[in-house]
Amino acid sequence: MTLDAAIEVRDLTKSYRNGLLRRRFEALRGVSLRVERGEIFGLLGPNGAGKTTLIKVLLGIVRRSGGSASLLGRAAGDRLGRMKVGYLPENLRIANHHTALTALEYYGKLSGLSWQEIKSERFRLLESVGLADRTRESVKKFSKGMLQRLGLAQALLHDPELLILDEPTDGLDPVGRSHVRNVLMRLKAQGKTIFLNSHLLQEVELICDRVAILDRGLVKVAGNVHELAGEQTEGVELELVVAASDDVVRASLGARDVASCHPNRDGTVRVVLQLADQAAVDQCIDDLRSSGVSIVGLSRRRVTLEDAFLKLFAEDARTVG
């Protein structure tokens, strides 16, 4: 028997009516995607792309206008389905009268846990998110990062099968981010499914197996992170540091696509080249060496998800322009 997908969305649409004139605004315009169990899935997109709306539909916070959406085999919004989901909202706010412990007790109870279950888990979880020494402190005194970590702890408290995290590392310092990253990797190792919505593309690239990029209510592209980066970049980008004059270097390179060529203070020259493939790289090195250019440093630049993302939207801007 095959398990249902953790999340399955087909032709999902959602429209709102806004303002005095009740103008129709389409937040989702036919989104389709599938998140398998056990993977970490990243949802990317510029502001207003419809990422949070998609999460709200999945959790039943808003009703879909059309299409279908399911969570762990149950219709989106179904109460039993929600029991197996841990959710960390964007800009989480926990009421000031709580301490870390009472907040976990409150949200744990709402998730259907007994007092005994909460008691046995809450210290361990607070320790895992780095709040072990602040358990009885009022959340009034918590920084945004601490609140995010507490939010993550509450999302994990009832041991959910699926985690939906909306900007989980927002407001965290590098150490905090690393902490959260480690927690997520640990969860992945435990077979949990994580659905991540983030602006921080480096984070997504580091953590996620697959991503989807949403733009104006439509999935623009979806797939494996590395494939996606590869898809969006043609050829190889090569960075060289050579010991020769600027003229000699340019003469040696001939008609090749030089992205930049700048002399360094120590007399060397830094050159960035855009080449077609590995054979072109080999040929370029041979030509430089045969012209007597001494190669001080050589690196092949990796194309990041951010590069791919920017390129995708830059192309879009050009098309629109």
Partner 1 sequence: MNKYLAVIKDSFREALASRVLWLVLVVITLVLMLLAPFSYREELTSRLNDNDVNERVLDIVRRADASEKPSPARHVWMQLDEELRDRIAKLSIPGVDDEPPNVMEFMRTVGHFRTAVNKLIEERGFYDEEAFAGVQIVSGELRDLRERGIDQLSDREAARFNRLLLEASFPDLIRTSPPTSLQFVYGWADLGGSVPLRSTTLRENMRSRFVFVLSWVVGPVGLLIAILVTASIIPQMFEPGSLHLLLSKPVSRSLLFLARYFGGCAFVCIAAVYMIGGVWLVLGVRFNLWDQKILLSIPIYLFMFAIYYAVSSLAGVYYRSTIVCIGLTIVFWAVCFGIGLLKGVLENSYWSRERFTRVVEVRDDLVAVNEIGIAHRWNPDASSWDEIFVSDGQKQVRGILRFLFFTPIVPRELRSIGPIYDQPSDRLVAIRPNPASGKAQFFVGPGDDEWKPAEPTDAPMGSFQLFREPDGKVLIVSSLGLYRLTGDPSKKDEPLKLFGFALPLPSSGPFEKASPEEGLVIARPSDAAMNERTGELAVYTRGTVKVLARSASGNYETNAEMEIADSSSKPIALGFAGQSLLLAHQDGRIQVLDAHTLRSRSEFSDESPNQPRFVAASPDGRWFAVLFHNGRLWTFDAESNAMRLAPVSGQGDISGVSFSTDSELFVIDKAFRVSRYSLDPFKVEHRYSPTLGFGGILYRYVLVPVYTMFPKPGKLDETFQYLLSGKDTQVADSGDLSIAQAELNPWAPVWSSALFMFVVLGIACVYIEWQEF
Rounded to 5 degrees, φ, ψ at 212 are -135, 140
Q: Binding to partner 1 by residue 98, rule CB under 8 A?
A: yes
Q: Binding to partner 1 by residue 8, rule CB under 8 A?
A: no
Q: Output 48 or 235, the one with its CB closest to partner 1.
A: 48
The count of residues interacting with partner 1 (CB under 8 A) is 36
Q: How far is the CB of 121 from partner 1 (least distance, A)?
A: 16
Rounded Cα distance between 132 and 153, Å, is 11
Give every CB contact of residue 222 below 8 A, 6+ residues apart in sequence. 33, 210, 211, 212, 213
Q: Please give the structure tokens belonging to residue 240.
A: 């060289």
Rounded Cα distance between 241 and 221, Å, is 36
CB 187 within 8 A of CB 159: no
Q: Which strands sit side by side in the sheet containing 40-44, from one edge to the other?
A: 85-88, 162-166, 193-197, 40-44, 210-215, 218-224
Q: How far is the CB of 110 from partner 1 (least distance, A)?
A: 4
Which span (4-12, 79-87, 194-202, 211-219) binds partner 1, by CB under 8 A? 79-87
Q: How far is the CB of 216 from partner 1 (least distance, A)?
A: 20
Rounded Cα distance between 59 and 164, Å, is 9
Q: Binding to partner 1 by residue 105, rule CB under 8 A?
A: yes
Q: Output 8 or 166, the one with its CB closest to partner 1.
A: 166
Q: Binding to partner 1 by residue 22, rule CB under 8 A?
A: no
Q: How far is the CB of 50 from partner 1 (least distance, A)?
A: 14
Q: Binding to partner 1 by residue 151, rule CB under 8 A?
A: yes
Q: How far is the CB of 132 from partner 1 (least distance, A)?
A: 22
Q: Which strands sit side by side in the sheet containing 23-35, from one edge to the other?
A: 23-35, 7-18, 66-71, 74-75
Q: How far is the CB of 59 from partner 1 (least distance, A)?
A: 5
Residue in 3, 24, 66, 110 binding partner 1, rule: CB under 8 A: 110
Rounded Cα distance between 294 and 244, Å, is 7
Beta bridge partners of 261: 271
Q: Output 199 or 226, the one with its CB closest to partner 1.
A: 199
- Residue identified by tokens 């841990």 is 86
Rounded Cα distance between 115 and 111, Å, is 11
- Report 161-180 residues binding partner 1 (CB under 8 A): 164
Q: Binding to partner 1 by residue 199, rule CB under 8 A?
A: no
Q: Binding to partner 1 by residue 136, rule CB under 8 A?
A: no
Q: Output 99 or 232, the one with its CB closest to partner 1.
A: 99
Binding mask 236-265 for partner 1 (x = CB under 8 A): ------------------------------
Provide DSSP, 196-230: EE-S-HHHHHHH-SEEEEEETTEEEEEEEHHHHHH
Rounded Cα distance between 250 and 258, Å, is 9
Q: Please give the structure tokens belonging to residue 105.
A: 């007790």
- Report 43-62 residues binding partner 1 (CB under 8 A): 56, 59-62
CB 165 within 8 A of CB 155: yes
Q: Binding to partner 1 by residue 93, rule CB under 8 A?
A: yes
Q: Give me the residues that bind partner 1 (CB under 8 A), please.
A: 16, 56, 59-63, 79-80, 82-83, 85, 87-98, 102, 105-107, 109-112, 114, 151, 154, 164
